[in-house]
Amino acid sequence: MRIVLTGGGTGGHIYPALAIGKQVMEEQPGSSILYIGSPKGLESRIVPAQGIPFESVEITGFRRKLSFENVRTVMRFLKGVRRSKQLLRDFKPDIVVGTGGYVCGPVIYAAAKLGIPTLIHEQNAVAGLTNQFLSRYASSVAVSFKDALSQFKRQSNTLFTGNPCATSVVRADKEQGYARLNIPAGSQVVLLVGGSRGAKAINDVMVDMAPLLQRLPDVHFVFVTGESYYENTKRRMEEVQPARSERLQVLPYLHHMPEVLAISDLVVGRAGASSIAELTALGIPSILIPSPNVTNNHQEANARSLVDAGAAEMILERNLNGELLFERISRIINSKATRTAMSAAAKSLGVPDSAALIVNELKQLTTRQK
């Protein structure tokens, strides 16, 4: 199979695309992949590091208010379509897959105009504007949340697949998770993480909560600050908790997140699409603190899907404080029955074989084309 992947801007768009590409290579060794992204987005660094050929298209998003800049955006879009058509003609893909972000616009549109089968994947419970626009042209639309199905008008070509990021975490080795943290196997673990770059609000509340952790002496806390926040947050925690606890690890980043997730009894973090996919695939109870600084407030909608199912609790950032978070953590971690129920609810929402489902749809689309 010759496949073009496109998606960018954030890891939430990039990693699902890479997961699909990985599944394609596993099922069909010898396949060829080209990734088309934006020259300044995260994908321009992440994708080449994976050894995947990368090409770029200049594009920006529309402003929600009337602006002359939108005229320039239209011109960039048309230029991006021309550039995309040339890249597609040169590569000759069997199918093109878009996972969101502005760069998907010209690439998927160009593929549709060239008669190449296309699939777009929506990670969030609230569909993004780019994917809603592209759904008119895409051969298939895959969604991570059942709540998103109704947001696409062409129901006949829309399918629930879950998020392909889930596939990698279900293969994680628990023994490696304990070994990487250097803690005894079977220990209770609470993971607190604000995303790959960290979150100031979560870092601040962890500092507030640090003096209370001694009330849970049998629990290991793993706190990931994000690299840019690490030194300042660690210093502040040492000020409020001078005696260093062996059951608290403060880290700037986790390079082996799947293994650590696999041993976590409870996760406290944001409600990004990839994180939700990992939590539900593994059936991990969670306390979600959605970021208020995202388009369409989609993280709160993501979190609400888990809360409504009984898989998670949610604390809005404006209500967040150390005592409240510690009370929630204590209640969940001290009740095996609560964790069991939340875990079962989370698993009921997960799709561990998401990447395989999407690749199966790709095979069907390319077969129909032939």
Which residues are annotated binding-site positions for UDP-N-acetyl-alpha-D-glucosamine?
10-12, 124, 196, 299
How many CB atoms sit inside 10 A of residue 114's CB?
Answer: 14
Judge whether 141 and 98 are in contact, CB under 8 Å: no
Provide the 8-state DSSP code for 156.
G
* Residue that is written with structure tokens 């690299």 in the block: 227
Decide: helix, strand or coil at residue 97: strand
Judge whether 41 and 101 are in contact, CB under 8 Å: yes
Q: What is the DSSP string of 74-90?
A: HHHHHHHHHHHHHHHHH
**What are the binding residues?**
10-12, 124, 196, 299
CA 23 – CA 354 distance, rounded (Å): 10
CA dihedral 285, 289, 294, 300 (to 10 degrees): 60
Q: Which backbone phi and psi does 135 adopt, to 5 degrees?
A: -60, -20
34: left (phi over 0), alpha (psi -120 to 50) or beta: beta
